[in-house]
Structure 1
Amino acid sequence: MKHPLHVTSEIGELQTVLLHRPGHEVENLTPDYLGRLLFDDIPYLPIIQKEHDYFAQTLRNRGVEVLYLTTLVTEALHTEEIREKFVDDILSESKITGEGVYRNLKEYLLSFPTKEMVEKIMAGVRKSEIPVSKKQHLYEMLEDHYPFYLDPMPNLYFTRDPAATIGNGLTINRMREEARRRESLFMTYVIKYHPRFANHDIPIWFNRDYEFPMEGGDELVLSKDTIAIGISARTAAKAIERFALNLFKRQQEIKRVVAVEIPKSRAFMHLDTVFTMVDYDKFTIHPAIQGPEGNMNIFILEKGKDEETLKITRKTNLLETLKEVLGLKEIALIPCGGGDDIAGPREQWNDGSNTLAIAPGVVVTYDRNYVSNQLLRENGVEVIEVLSSELARGRGGPRCMSMPLVRKDI
C-alpha cells in the first residue's frame, strides 16, 4: 500500500481528505455556554449536515476520496483493550477526577457499541443521562447547574486544526483552548491503531504533549521545501521553534519555516483565515493583517549550526518574502472583499480568505463571499462554491473543514 500521508504543497491535486460531519455535539450548544465552547451562534443541525454533505459531495465529484473522522476512530478502536484505554484518556483529559463519577462515566460509555460510543464522546454526556442514584458525592449534587459531565465538541468539523499533514508526516497538535484540547486525541489513536496508518512509519513532527500550542489552521505547506506558520492567537512562537527543530532533525527535504505574525484576535484566528494559497503564484489575503506599506513581522527559520539551534532571519514584507522562498518573480495577492472597507471585513468574517485549493488554480469557497469569489475568477482562478448559511456560524471555511491526507506533487 502506498504511504497514507503525502502533502508537499497547498495546491497539488487533492486525492484524500479527512472530514467530520457535524453531529449532535452542535445541538448541545446553548446560549449560556457558547463562549466556553468557542461558538458565536447555534447552527441548525439538519441544515448544517445538509450543507456539509454538499461540501463532501463537491469534493467527491472532483475525484477526491473523502474519509470521515468518526469512521476512522471507530475502526481504530478495534479491541476492548484499545476502547478502554481511549475512554480512560478522554476522561482524564476531560478532568473527570471524582472516583465515583469517573467509574460511572467509564461504565456508561463502554456500554455502547464502538461507533455509538465515539459519537457520544463527541456529542458530550449530559448529567441527566446518569441516574441520580449514581451521584455519590456532595460536590456532584452541588454542581448540577452545569448540564454536562463531558463537554460536547462542536468544533470537530474543523478537522484542519487538531492535526495537519506535512510531507509524509504529521503534526498532532496541542490546541490552545481547553474546549478543543481533546480533539487531537482522536488522531493519536487513528495513527497508532487504524490499519490504514498503523503499519507505516509516520513521523510526528510536533506532538500534543508539548506545553505550548500550535494549530493546523496556522500551518501552510507552501512548497516541498517551505512551510509557513502563523504566530497567532492559537499558535505560540515557542511551538513553532520546537516544530522547526524536530523537522530539520528528522528529514532533509523541507529547508525552511516561515513564521508570520498576525493580529491576535477572534476574527483573525489562524493564518488561513486571512491568507491562503490558490495557485502557483496567487494568494488570497485580508489586507488588514499588513501594516503601513505592507510591513509585517516575518521570520525565516532554517537549520542552525547543530541540531538544537536555528538560524533566524527577520523580514518585513510578505510579498517580497514569498517571492524569495518560492523563487518567483511575480506574485498576486488577491484581497478579500476586493479590499473594500465594508465588503473586506464582512467577507473575511465569513471566511472569504479561507479557500481550499483542490488543484492549482481551483478552489472551493463559501457561496456567500460573492465579492471575493468574483475577484478570484477575474484573476483566473476556478471557483467552486458550496452552501454556507449554517456552516459559517462556526467561524471557519472550506480549508478549516478539511484535513488533506494526500495530494499529488506539483
Structure 2
Amino acid sequence: MFVLDGTSKLKKVLVCPPTYLKEAAPINEISKKYADQPLDQTRLAAEFEQLIEAYHQTGVEVECQKAAPDMTNAVFARDFGGCVKEGYILGRFKKELRFPERKAYEKKMKELGIPKIAEIKRGYFEGGDFAFLTEKVIAVGIIDRTNEEGFEELKTKLEPLGYEVYPVPADPRYLHLDMCFNLVEDHLAVAYKEGLPASFLELLNTLKIEIIPVPEEAIFKHGCNLESLGAKRVLSLKQNTAVNDALRVHGMDVIELDISETLKAGGGPHCMTFPLQRG
C-alpha cells in the first residue's frame, strides 16, 4: 500500500530543495506580486530545512528529488501527479517552465519502486488539484492547471479501481484546489466556501465533512495550504493565526512553520510535499 487517503498517518514523503528557485516566475497570482524580484536564497534554504526537520520530528521519512537548473519550481513537488494505494498517477504540466520536472519525477518514482498506474497524456493535471475526501472519494480541481480533458482522463483511470472522482471547478486565480480547500482530518477541512461550487459543498455535507471557513484573501497567503500528518496533527504556516486557532479549537495539534520567502513563488507546505506512503 502506498497512499491510503489524505488524513491517515503520513509515513513517507518526496520533496525537492529550492536550489535553483532564483526568482518568482509570474505563473500564478501570488508570484505575480514578486515577479522578477530576486528571492533570498538563504531564507529559501532555511525554510526548506525547517520543513524537513518538522517531518523528521514527527517520524516522517523524507526522500529528496535532486534539484536541477532547468527545474526552478521543482520545490513544489506535489504537482507532478497524485498517489493512491495502488501506485501513482503521472500528471501533465500546463506551464512550459515545469516540463522538465515530469521526466525527472517519473525517473525518481521508478527508483523508489512505486508503480505508475496511470499517465495523463492529452489533457492537463497537476497534483495540487488532487484531494482525497475519503479513502475512495477523490476531488479534483478544474481551476487553472487541470482542465476538463485531464480530469476525464484521470477519472477514467481511477474509476476501475473503485474510486469515485468528482470535479471541482473554481476561479482560475486560485491556481489549485489545495489553495482554497484542504482536508486536514477525517471530517474536517479548511476552505474558502464561497469560492467552491454548490455541488461540491453538498458532497462535503453528505460526507459529513465540517469546514473551517477562511476569507478569500487567505487563499493568497496560504491559509488553506496545510499538510495533514494524521493523528490530528497538521503543518501550517505561522502567519495563519486565525486558521491555526480554529484548528486547535477542533482538537488539532498545529505545527507552525515560519515559511514566507517560499510563499512568494506561490507555494506552501502542501505544495512542497508529495506523499509516498500514508495509512
TM-score, length-normalised on structure 2?
0.91
1:14 — aligned with what?
A: 10
- 2:235 & 2:27 partners in 1: Cα distance? 30
One of 284, 288, 293 as aligned partner of 2:190: 284
Could you say which residue in structure 2 is the equivalent of 1:102?
none
Residue correspondence of structure 1 range 313-324 to structure 2 within 5 A = 316-324=198-206
Q: Which residue of 1 aligns with 2:53?
A: 57
Q: Report the Cα distance in structure 2 between the residues aligned to 1:372 and 1:280, rounded to whole angstroms.
A: 17
Higher RCO (CA < 8 A, seq sep 6+): 2
**Tell me, what secondary structure is at the counterpart of 2:133?**
strand
- AA aligned to 1:333 is I
The aligned runs of 1:144-183 (5 Å cut-off) are 152-183=70-101
Q: 2 CA distance for matches of 1:214 and 1:242?
A: 9
Contact 1:356-1:364 within 8 A present in 2 as well: yes
1:261 equivalenced with 2:169 (yes/no): yes
Among 139, 147, 150, the alignment partner of 1:236 is 147
- Given that 1:167 and 1:224 are in contact with CA atoms closer than 8 Å, whether structure 2 keeps it comes out as no
More helix, by proportion: 1
Matched, 1:354 2:188: no
Please give the residue correspondences for 1:8-407 in structure 2 after superposition, counting only pairs within 5 Å.
Answer: 8-23=4-19, 25-27=20-22, 29=23, 34-35=25-26, 39-40=31-32, 41=34, 42-70=38-66, 119=67, 122-123=68-69, 152-192=70-110, 194=111, 196-197=112-113, 202-207=115-120, 210-249=121-160, 251=161, 253-254=162-163, 256-265=164-173, 268-290=174-196, 296=197, 316-324=198-206, 326=207, 328=208, 331-336=209-214, 339=215, 344-345=216-217, 347-407=218-278
Return the offset for 1:9.
Answer: 1.0
- 1-side partners of 2:4 and 2:170: how far apart? 24
Report the Cα distance in structure 1 between the residues aligned to 2:212 and 2:28, rounded to whole angstroms. Answer: 33
CA distance in 1, matches of 2:5, 2:43: 32
User: C-alpha distance in 2, partners of 1:36/1:220?
Assistant: 22
* Unaligned residue ranges in structure 2 (runs of 5+): none
C-alpha separation between the residues in 1 aligned to 2:194 and 2:269?
21
Q: Identity percentage over the alignment?
A: 26
Q: Which amino acid aligns with 2:243?
A: S
User: Matched residues in 2 for 1:288 and 1:13: separation?
Assistant: 30
1:37, distance to aligned residue in structure 2 (A): 9.7
Moved over 4 A (4+): none
The amino acid across from 2:90 in the alignment is I
In the alignment, is the contact (CA less than 8 A) between 2:128 and 2:176 conserved in 1?
yes
Distance 1:391 1:215 in 2: 19
Partner Cα distance (1:36, 1:364) in 2? 25
How far apart are 1:380 and its partner, in Å? 2.1
Offset of residue 246 of structure 1: 1.7
Q: Which has the larger radius of gyration?
A: 1
Equivalent-residue separation in structure 1 for 2:128 and 2:27 (angstroms) = 20
1:36 positional shift = 6.7
In the alignment, what sits opposite 1:134? Answer: none
**In structure 2, what is the Cα distance between the partners aligned to 1:219 and 1:154?**
22
What's the secondary structure of 1:389's corresponding residue?
A: coil
Q: 1:361 to 1:349 in 2, by over 3 A?
A: same
Alpha carbons 2:159, 2:165 under 8 Å: kept:
no
Native 8 Å contact 1:350 1:395 kept in 2: no
Q: Following the alignment from structure 1 to structure 2, what is the Cα–Cα distance between the partners of residues 388 and 321?
A: 32
The letter of the residue matching 1:55 is L
Distance 2:58 2:21 in 1: 29
SS, match of residue 243 in structure 2: helix
Instruction: Quote the offset at 1:226 in angstroms.
Output: 1.0
Instruction: Provide the rounded CA distance (Å) in 1 between the counterparts of 2:13 and 2:223.
Output: 21
Secondary structure in 2 matching 1:374: helix
